[in-house]
Each structure stands twice: as C-alpha cells, then as structure tokens.
Amino acid sequence: MKTKIWVGAILLLFVFYLVAAFGSAVRFITAAEPLAKVIGVAALVIPLVGVWILIREVLFGSRTQTMAGILESEGLLPEDNLPRTPSGRIVKAAADEDFVQYKEEVEANPESWKSWHRLALAYDAAGDRRRARDSMKTAIGFYVASTKK
C-alpha cells in the first residue's frame, strides 16, 4: 500500500510538471522567433516521451503484480526461503542453485507466462536485474496474449 501511495504522489507531481511544461511550450511556440518555436516544440516533445515511459513502467508494474497475484492464488508463486546474509541479501550461491529449476521449467514450457514469471523472480534473486526484467517482459507478453484468447 505504501508503494501505491508513493506512485500516486509521483504521478501527481508529474501531472503538475506536464501542465507547467505544456504552458511554457505553448508560449514558446506562439512567439515570433523561429528559435523560440523550436524550443517550444522540444519543450512539448520531451514531456511526451516522459509520459510514454511512465505509462510503460506503470503498466509493467501493474501487470507484474496482477500475474504475481494469480500465481499466489494458485499456489505457484515461489517461496522466499533462500538463505540470507546478515544484511538481508540473498546468498548468491543458493540463488544460483535454485535458479536451475526455473530455467529448466522455461525450457520445458517456453510459452508459459507462469514459467517466465518464476524465472524472472529467480534471476532477480540471483542479482541479475537485466535478465529478470527481460524475462518479466517475456512473461507479460505471453500473459497479455493469453488474456486475448
């Protein structure tokens, strides 16, 4: 719940920024000087790119959370029982050992969003954030495709 409040607050700040940026962009675009018009267009495009990135990230988080809820309700969400260091980090050797089963599951079921989701969690536990995100994107692709059927 705390995360959702922070996301909401950031979204509100972003909307405030967009309104201010749009107002500035309009003033620049309506100015007589050509350079001001170029600056105005740039001031309009850059926030729009930010909106696209924000929407993409919010959808990523929302879909990831929805899929995790489904896995949890089906009893398929991996348990968080890996050993941890005193600082709370997962022991890498244990995560690497645990990872193998999820990799094999994806190899056996390459089009299963559930398998890809669990693999993403295993990558994350092993500390490989880039592959975790790529695997979660694959899971989301299969999940969205399965909901359209």
- The residues facing 120 across adjacent strands are none
- The verdict on domain 92-148 having CATH code 3.40.50.300 is no
pTM, full prediction? 0.80
| Residues 42 and 24 sit within 8 Å (Cβ to Cβ) | no
**Where exactly are the structural domains of the chain?**
2-73, 92-148
Using DSSP, state whether 70 is helix, strand or coil. helix
Q: What is the pLDDT along the chain (149 residues), one digit of tens a residue?
A: 788 899 889 889 988 988 898 899 999 999 999 999 999 999 889 888 888 998 899 899 999 999 999 999 999 999 889 999 999 899 989 998 999 999 999 999 999 999 999 999 999 999 999 999 999 999 999 999 999 87
12/1 Cα distance (integer angstroms): 17
User: Any idea how long the chain is?
Assistant: 149
